[in-house]
Amino acid sequence: MPSKKKENPVDFRGRVWIDGPEGTFIGYGRVVLLERITKHGSITKAAKSMQMAYRHAWDLVDSMNRQSGKPFVELSTGGKGGGGARVTEEGEKAVKLFWQFYADFQDFLKREEQKLGMCK
Amino acid sequence: MPSKKKENPVDFRGRVWIDGPEGTFIGYGRVVLLERITKHGSITKAAKSMQMAYRHAWDLVDSMNRQSGKPFVELSTGGKGGGGARVTEEGEKAVKLFWQFYADFQDFLKREEQKLGMCK
DNA sequence: TACCGTTATTCCCTATGATATATTACGCTC
DNA sequence: GAGCGTAATATATCATAGGGAATAACGGTA
């Protein structure tokens, strides 16, 4: 049977994100971070679990909380366990919204590959 | 009449490009560069016209020529006028292909804004 | 041969971002 | 009040990309 392997390995790629008042608001890395925070209950553990520096993770959370009307993550310091982080409903909605956007974009890339791929 | 101004200034953004064997192959900056080379006839003038360092422009041209079966740009050194650069038909085709991809992507972003914009 | 403007190539400097380290603040538990 | 693990913050180190400057190579023309 005839192979459909591409002679020229070109592929259509891209990135998508959502901008807010200060620039980047919701993106791939931020959404994965939110999911890890939901799973682990703290910025520290979430950052470690994805090889991200705590400083960087904290900056992202702070950026999202500043740009959203209602915070995506509730932080608490001190107390039982030393404190922690909890993703709010608003944050959960943002996660779902982005994954929908992301999935639509992957479909778009596939369609473009079909449409324009052979014009190389 | 009721204003359609958005309460929350969030907008859907993104970037697209085409990968080749070595990574980035065709992208926005590279395509603009090709158009400037067509217009000016040299890498030097093309780079100056878009505030790009000659070194960077040359690297981009070299990267495209290495990754495409047939070169996108024909370079000549010495001779009348000291040499120059000329975009080939292969290069022109790549420019058109990318702009089509780019336009489709802008449409996609608009559709997503309509579809998901109010779910914030 | 001398000159010219371009391509081709090297070297260094700077700006930027990410990372690592360290310190402080916090508030509950014991 | 001591201890704990976290958030919060500041500082220093490192890596990387990009730009600028300088130089050589090239091949036509006068």
Q: Which nucleotide comes closest to A80 if you measure CA to C1'?
A: C28
Kindly report, residue by residue over A22-50, the tens digit of the pLDDT. Answer: 889 999 999 999 999 999 999 999 999 99
Nearest-CA residue of chain B relative to A114?
A: B101
**Using 50, 70 and 90 to split pLDDT, how confident is the model at A80?**
confident
What residues of chain B lie within 8 A of the CB of A17, using their CB? Answer: 13-14
B109 min Cα distance to partner chain A (Å):
9
B13 min Cα distance to partner chain A (Å):
5
**Using 50, 70 and 90 to split pLDDT, how confident is the model at B106?**
very high
Question: Which chain B residues in 88-117 sit with Cβ < 7 A of strand C?
Answer: none
Beta carbon of B42 within 7 Å of strand C? yes
Give the CA B56 to C1' C10 distance in Å: 14
Higher pLDDT, A88 or B6: A88
- Three-state secondary structure readout of B1-69: CCCCCCCCCCEEEEEEEEEECCEEEECHHHHHHHHHHHHHCCHHHHHHHCCCCHHHHHHHHHHHHHHCC
- pTM score, two decimals? 0.89
Q: Which nucleotide comes closest to B54 if you measure CA to C1'?
A: D19
User: Does the pLDDT of residue B56 top 90, yes or no?
Assistant: yes
* Residue B108 to residue B120: CA distance in whole angstroms: 18
**Using 50, 70 and 90 to split pLDDT, how confident is the model at A118?**
confident
